[in-house]
Amino acid sequence: MKNILKGYSILVYLFLFTPIFVVVYMSFNAGRHNVFPISEYSLIWYETLFSNTAIWRNFQVSLMIALASTTLTLVISTLAAYCICRYRFRGKSAFISLMLAPMLIPAVITGISMLIYYNFLSVPSSIYTVIIGHTVLCIPYATLIITARLQGFDIRLEEAARGLGATERVVFFKIVMPLLMPGFVGGGLFAFTISMDEFALTFFLNSHDSQTLPIRIWSMLRFGITPELNALSTIILLVSLVLITLASITQGRKNNK
């Protein structure tokens, strides 16, 4: 039975990851059409990609949105996690449910809802609406990570600092934040990765000046899948893997402390 389960697991992983391996493999095709197997290998499509100014302009927009939304996410999530772990107040359960709700609601629904709300307020779509949307989407993930970190260290350290005359501000920035840093970094990396890869919500909130890299990829798909698109997907995959690995390492160090 154990061998059957292992074999089944291997088949499931092959089914899920084979398309990704195919995309990476086809990015080294020298020809313009995706023909399997590749008859001639080349890096020409990576060279073409790096010379495409439109794609890099969209990448810069994605990077700016991801950095801004990650910053806002970390500020809000840190305060929310500290509030959840250190205080008791009426409606705490409802507060936690509202904080985690965007993680449970499909991004398409969130995007449509925010678009209708912005239209109701007569707020035009721009890079700022996308940043707010990405922040709403990332907050639950960062909040969970930071909350787990806060629950993991001894609250008596804070009480001792207060007993020695430290103000709440000193306790937070001198005691809490250094101990919170692994969760802070891990939550930030997850938020940055989610923001860089988000398409569904961005599709409803972006404008002509705020088109992100996923939106550019979608527009390129209308003309067919080219090796240039394969090369772009491979680079995005590598960046995402690096960020997720860094976040996992940070979380691992946190758990070992």
pLDDT digits (tens, 9 = 90+) for 174-229: 777 777 787 888 888 888 888 888 888 888 888 877 788 888 888 877 766 677 77
- pLDDT at 256 (0 to 100): 55
Could you give the percent of the chain with pLDDT greater than 90? 7
What is the mean predicted confidence (pLDDT) over 66-77? Answer: 92
| 86 confidence band (pLDDT: 50, 70, 90) | confident
What angle, 0 to 180 degrees and rounded to 10, lies between the N-to-C axes of helices 127-150 and 107-120? 130
Give the HSE-up count for residue 17: Cα atoms under 13 Å, Cβ half-sphere: 7
- Read off the pTM: 0.77
What is the mean predicted confidence (pLDDT) over 49-76? Answer: 87
| DSSP helix/strand/coil, 27 | coil
- pLDDT at 253 (0 to 100): 58
Q: Is the pLDDT of residue 124 over 80?
A: yes
- CA atoms of 190 and 195, how far apart (whole Å): 9
- pLDDT at 68 (0 to 100): 93
- CA atoms of 77 and 91, how far apart (whole Å): 18
**pLDDT, tens digit (0-9, with 9 covering 90-100), for 7-51:** 888 888 888 888 788 878 777 777 666 666 777 777 787 887 788
Rounded to the nearest integer, the mean pLDDT of the chain is 81
- pLDDT at 250 (0 to 100): 62
Please list, in sequence order, all residues whose beta carbon lies within 8 angstroms of the beta carbon of residue 124, skipping any fewer than 6 positions away. Answer: 118, 207
Q: Domain residues of the chain, as ranges? A: 1-42, 53-256
Tokens of 126: 């721009």
- CA atoms of 140 and 144, how far apart (whole Å): 6
| 132 confidence band (pLDDT: 50, 70, 90) | very high
Q: Is the pLDDT of residue 58 over 70?
A: yes
The CATH class given to the 53-256 domain equals: mainly alpha
Please list, in sequence order, all residues whose beta carbon lies within 8 angstroms of the beta carbon of residue 93, skipping any fewer than 6 positions away. Answer: none
Q: Is the pLDDT of residue 244 over 90?
A: no
